[in-house]
Structure 1
Amino acid sequence: MLNSVRIDLHTHSRVSDGTSAPADLLAEAATAGLDVVALTDHDTTAGWDEAAAAVPETGVGLLRGAEISCTAGGISVHLLSYLHDPGDAPLAAELERSRTSRDGRARAIVDRLTDDFDISWEDVAAQAADGATLGRPHIADALVAAGVVPDRSAAFASILAPSSRYYVRYHAPDAVEAVRMVRAAGGVPVFAHPRASVRGRIVADDVVREMADAGLAGLEVDHRDHTGADRARLRALAGELGLFVTGASDYHGVGKPNRLGEETSSEAVLDAIAAAGSLGVLFP
């Protein structure tokens, strides 16, 4: 591998809340000039096989992963898990529980929305791929289609924000326990966008320290939702705790401003993840 390798460690497909099929996501990564991309759909590994099959054709390497919805002291946080065993029973059961809860939560949100907006569950379902777990992004897309808001970002900033009266919580494991489960499943846990205050409340540094004690491997530092000051603080914290630093786009396709490869990670970080995970990185 060359020093010019471009690696994006956080992307989503239609299997969760992105807009591209897994194979199409890899094709888009090739067009964006990426050499390796991580598929990290929310609470699922269902897109792995399709993405893996596209590796030879697209020439883009694949890091298999997932983004796990967690909570810490009532604050929603996300944990990226790379190269874990998808057949690990405890982790698979926890992800299934989260997906089931997410579906029920989406229906509850839609029930509240129908009081004020011309939107139905069928409208939301029409925005998702077959088999995808419906969530707030699909509700946002339905609101866009209905002309209520101009785009996903506007929906999340207003109608679907945690402070909104339409918001409904869902099951999510404790963040520290999630780190332990990922490690037990042979995975490599990385805290996604830990200081993204534009999304809501963020956890204190002591929570990151607890996660590090449980086996956290890295912090996603270079992310569009982090300011320069956020990045500097996170780099200092990563240095203190012996964690590696990643950068990624958090790409979801159309409807969000994030672009593939807008932030990237180093080859050294990819090598560290590959060395610690139970699965290998798939190269063309």
Structure 2
Amino acid sequence: MGFVDLHTHSDASDGSFTPAHLVHLAKEAGLCAIALTDHDTTAGIADAVDAGKELGVEVIPGIEVSGNYEGHEIHILGLFINPDDPELKAFLKDMRSRRNRRNEEMFRRLAADGISFTDEELFGSNPQTVITRAHVARAMVQKGFCSSANQAFKKYLEYGGRYCPPKEETEPESIVKILLKNGAFAALAHPFLYKLGDKQTKALITRLAEAGMQGLEVYHSSNYPLESRKLQKMAAGLKLLPTGGSDFHGSCKPDISIGTGRGGLRVSELLLEDIRHCVCPKSQKET
């Protein structure tokens, strides 16, 4: 039995490695498949897929899209997306525009308190990257405003806080709908990171399941074993397929390794096969 990582990021969004390098790391870690799930962009998928073919690592085209649930930013994963779909392209372009408008206001507020950045400090080696709060946190550490990314998030970049206004509202149901129309597998990412509490977390998952969401990220680097067991139970009760991944970002989250997270994460390829069957039942039968 092999292992997979169905939640990773490249420098097309807020990861530190190129898509091709990411696949090399997956190969070195002994993984048989990874999903590239950058924020609001599919720009890295083609390079990752090419590297995967060369190295014998399956690369699942994916995405991670931000939505708003009762004032909380939540993330929805799409696996097996069609990155060439015009409707998905238009949707993601709009999402990036919303993110950019939020970023402009965030930079204005920070600059008013004497904190500013050059484009080079934010974009690094990839001028096409989608700028996220992680880029800002990294720049803050590099310029000495904060001692760590965690401190930057807590002091300056808390979602909806003084410096970081929420993005224009995107209903999570609309994200699920566009992913389903694309033919993708939609799953709520890292449910317990939103700090909603068990009752409200279940309400959110139920709401999205009723909208057609097929999966739930049960296994994640941030989970304690008890949390994963709770999510297993919720997924089973709502007939959602479990998925899992490290949420690897490279040097942006140095304590998280591809494939193993903070050391104890292992996601079986059997989960991927169930997801594949859900998305492509006809091809699965023919094989």
TM-score with structure 1 length normalisation? 0.89
Greater length-normalized contact order (CA 8 Å, ≥ 6 residues apart): 1
Residue of structure 1 equivalent to 2:151: 154
Q: CA contact under 8 A between 2:14 and 2:252: conserved in structure 1?
A: no
Q: Distance in 2 between matches of 1:43 and 1:203?
A: 25
Letter in 2 for 1:143: M
Give the 3 Å change call, closer, same or farther, for CA 270–122 of structure 1 in structure 2: same
Q: Distance in 2 between matches of 1:106 and 1:199?
A: 25
The 5-angstrom pairing of residues 27-38 of structure 1 reads 27-38=24-35
The 5-angstrom pairing of residues 1-284 of structure 1 reads 4-127=1-124, 129-162=126-159, 164-197=161-194, 203-256=200-253, 257-262=255-260, 263-277=265-279
- SS of the residue corresponding to residue 209 of structure 2 reads helix
Letter in 2 for 1:130: P
Letter in 1 for 2:81: H
Q: CA contact under 8 A between 1:187 and 1:276: conserved in structure 2?
A: no
TM-score with structure 2 length normalisation? 0.88
Q: CA contact under 8 A between 1:246 and 1:266: conserved in structure 2?
A: no
Number of residue-to-residue matches in the alignment: 278
Give the 3 Å change call, closer, same or farther, for CA 126–65 of structure 1 in structure 2: closer
Q: CA contact under 8 A between 2:41 and 2:63: conserved in structure 1?
A: yes
Q: Distance in 1 between matches of 2:184 and 2:244?
A: 18
- SS of the residue corresponding to residue 62 of structure 1 reads strand
Q: CA contact under 8 A between 1:13 and 1:41: conserved in structure 2?
A: yes
Q: Distance in 2 between matches of 1:148 and 1:202?
A: 37
Q: CA contact under 8 A between 2:77 and 2:189: conserved in structure 1?
A: yes
Q: Distance in 1 between matches of 2:44 and 2:82?
A: 14
Give the unaligned 5+ runs of structure 1: none
Q: Distance in 1 between matches of 2:59 and 2:247?
A: 15
Give the unaligned 5+ runs of structure 2: none
Q: Distance in 2 between matches of 1:202 and 1:129?
A: 41
Letter in 2 for 1:261: G
Give the 3 Å change call, closer, same or farther, for CA 199–7 of structure 1 in structure 2: farther
Give the 3 Å change call, closer, same or farther, for CA 242–26 of structure 1 in structure 2: same
Q: Distance in 2 between matches of 1:132 and 1:189?
A: 24
Q: Deviations over 1:135-178 (max 9, x none)?
A: 21111111111011233232122211125311122135211221
Q: Distance in 1 between matches of 2:146 and 2:117?
A: 16
Higher helix share: 2
Give the 3 Å change call, closer, same or farther, for CA 270–130 of structure 1 in structure 2: same
Q: CA contact under 8 A between 1:65 and 1:81: conserved in structure 2?
A: yes
- SS of the residue corresponding to residue 54 of structure 1 reads helix
Q: Distance in 2 between matches of 1:24 and 1:199?
A: 35
- Per-residue deviation, 1:204: 3.2
Letter in 2 for 1:133: V
Give the 3 Å change call, closer, same or farther, for CA 97–199 of structure 1 in structure 2: farther
Give the 3 Å change call, closer, same or farther, for CA 117–33 of structure 1 in structure 2: farther
